[in-house]
């Protein structure tokens, strides 16, 4: 298998953490660099959206985005990080919440890193942070028990999301007022799979 990746992509990190936790080895990493205004040609050839991660499977099929790839790899390994039954819907909801946090965080980062200064719109950026703030509060209030149970994709996705907030938006101090989530993240970040995938600037 070949994985188009960027070492700073939190969506790629989800895939890498799941693969390590599931014991999947032998995935070839194909480095890609691009932005929404200058996508990587190699990635476009695999994913018309021009986004990483994209996985070329051994049978030739191409899978994207991170949620599809993670479910594929979990199914391939039989690890059960997406549980069966009613709990599956809770795990998928928390994963979607984590991805929503990442979507908003990336829009904030792109606004300041890519858009010309005269075209930046600060209220729009704050609107993105409001989404993140609401989502984190919901996780603190409603989902801590799920995060504290046996390892699932909900934990991996949330760990990647919180790690990205620390990586790119540390000044926002997402931990303030969320002692449960902060304590959970501090413990989860110690896992070998999280340590081996810490993004490098």
The 10s digit of each residue's pLDDT in 89-114 is 999 999 999 999 999 999 999 998 88
Token readout for 143 is 């989902």
What is the model's pTM?
0.96
CB 193 within 8 A of CB 170: no
Confirm or reject CATH 3.40.50.300 for domain 86-192, answering yes or no. no
Average pLDDT over every residue of 15-33: 96
Q: If one looks up domain 2-77 in CATH, what number appears? A: 3.40.30.10
CB 69 within 8 A of CB 55: yes
Residue, of 11 and 40, whose pLDDT is higher: 11
Cα 178 vs. chain centroid, distance in angstroms? 20
**Cα dihedral value 166, 151, 191, 164, nearest 10:** -20
Domain ranges in the chain with CATH number 3.40.30.10: 2-77
Domain ranges in the chain with CATH number 1.20.1050.10: 86-192
């Amino acid at each position: 298998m070949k994985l188009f990746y960027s070492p700073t992509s939190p969506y790629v990190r989800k895939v890498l953490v799941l693969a390590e936790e599931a014991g999947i080895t032998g995935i070839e990493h194909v480095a890609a660099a691009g932005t929404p205004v200058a996508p990587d040609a190699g990635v476009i050839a695999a994913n018309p959206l021009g986004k990483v991660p994209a996985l070329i499977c051994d049978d030739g099929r191409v899978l994207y985005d991170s949620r599809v790839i993670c479910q594929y790899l979990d199914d391939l390994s039989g690890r059960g990080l997406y549980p069966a039954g009613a709990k599956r819907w809770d795990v998928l909801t928390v994963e979607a919440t984590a991805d929503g946090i990442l979507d908003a965080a990336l829009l904030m980062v792109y606004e300041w890193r890519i858009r010309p200064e005269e075209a930046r719109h600060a209220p729009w950026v704050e609107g993105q942070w409001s989404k993140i703030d609401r989502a984190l509060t919901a996780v603190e209030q409603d989902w801590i028990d799920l995060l504290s149970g046996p390892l699932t994709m909900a934990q991996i996705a949330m760990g990647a999301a919180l790690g990205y907030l620390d990586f790119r938006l540390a000044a926002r101090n997402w931990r303030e007022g969320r002692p449960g989530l902060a304590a959970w993240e501090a413990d989860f970040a110690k896992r070998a799979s999280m340590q081996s995938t810490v993004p490098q600037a």
